[in-house]
Amino acid sequence: MSTKSGPLSDLTIIDCTMALAGPFGTALLADLGANIIKVEPPYGDGSRPVPPLPPDYANVADEQQAGVDYGGYFASINRNKRSIVLDFKQEADREILLRLCEQADAIVENMRVGVMDKLGLGYETIAERNPQIVYGAIRGFGDPRTGESPYAHWPAFDIVAQSMSGHVNITGPDDALGFPSGVSVGDIYPGTLMALGVVAAIHNARTTGVGQFCDVGMYDSMLAFTETVVANYGFEGKQLPSRGQHHPNLMPFGLFPASDGAVAIAAPGNAHWETLCQIMQRPDLIDDTRTKNTFVRRKNQDFVETQISTWTKQQTRQEIVAQLGGKVPCGPVNTAEDIFNDPHVRAREMITEFELPGDNPKASIVGTPIKYTKTPAGFRRPPPRLGEHTDEILEEFGIAEGTPES
């Protein structure tokens, strides 16, 4: 999209986040139209040099190099943003941030507890300049303002949040110590919740005229993400084992082998189970005492898996889906190439192709999953080069660069 759109086009958010969790959340808001001002230190967001990198990638520390100064990791979570460079060690730049916040709806950061406070840029200081502002923070274990954790000052990464929440413990094969997710859900989910929390707090601030501090703990978020761990233990005192390829309580509800990979099949209800049995030409399984409902099927998991696998492994993923699609919930276990060739992905515009700066081929990142009929959301601005919009932003906010006067 060439013009600003989206239902949040009236919001301005100062984004002081780096790495993955914070930038992912603000990218969601940017996709929905929010004016996201990405504030970076002189050396830039540390995720800029993370692969995959384009052919003429330039190290941001080497000003003599030309070319794009970010890779695919940075691009996918910093689209639709503008970049300004501020050095918080300098009084003039701290004052610039405060002046930006005077005209913003929210500021978001994901630094360690107390870092922004020591710089004189904590919530209370910013709220003095703009009482209506929402201050969003992502921490490993939350912020003491909303609940003092014994781990509050610990550093944290995605893998830590995944592990402590129990998510790793229930992921992987039955005989394993656990497996982390293939994607960084310990960052992405907290970022998503932060985006929701900030928008909700802005709504409240516009109603009441008063902003507030809002924080999201990575550990807390992953506890919510793995709610089944808490629910099973909270109701029955049951500690879930590693899930393997199937659901702990439903059957069939998992992965089955095909001749060229695997497919997901979910038929826990009677109607879908009967349809599956008919398509497999196994009507005898409909009334079999070992398979007549999902509860007994779960108790006889090995038997049920064997019956379905015997049918699936003789066929390709495409052949299986052609028979079950639209009748029984199913889908192939896709590779990246499969995804790029999927007609659904094209129809829903879930792959965005754009021009990189310099002499580079086009690149692709994921599109927005949130669709609207009247206020389209999506890609409208390429990821920014470091400090690319500094002068533009300062002029827009009526700030003379490098001057601390208010």
CA distance 25 to 151: 23
Catalytic residue, candidates 187, 260, 284, 359: 187
Alpha-carbon dihedral sign for residues 243, 249, 255, 257:
positive
Using CA atoms, how far apart are residues 34 and 147, in angstroms rounded to an integer?
Answer: 29
Choose among 265, 276, 264, 266: nearest CA to 333.
264
- Give me the residue label for tokens 């928008």: 199
Q: Is 187 among the catalytic positions?
A: yes
- Residue 204 CA: distances (Å) to CA of 197, 200, 208, 214, 337: 11, 6, 6, 12, 44
Long-range contacts of the stretch 325-331 (C-beta < 8 A, 24+): 327/272, 327/275, 327/279, 328/265, 328/266, 328/267, 328/272, 328/275, 328/276, 328/279, 329/264, 329/265, 329/266, 329/267, 329/272, 330/263, 330/264, 330/265, 330/266, 331/263, 331/264
Angle between helices 317-324 and 270-279 (to 10 degrees): 120
Question: From CA 238, how far away is CA 48, in angstroms rounded?
Answer: 44
Residues belonging to the active site: 187
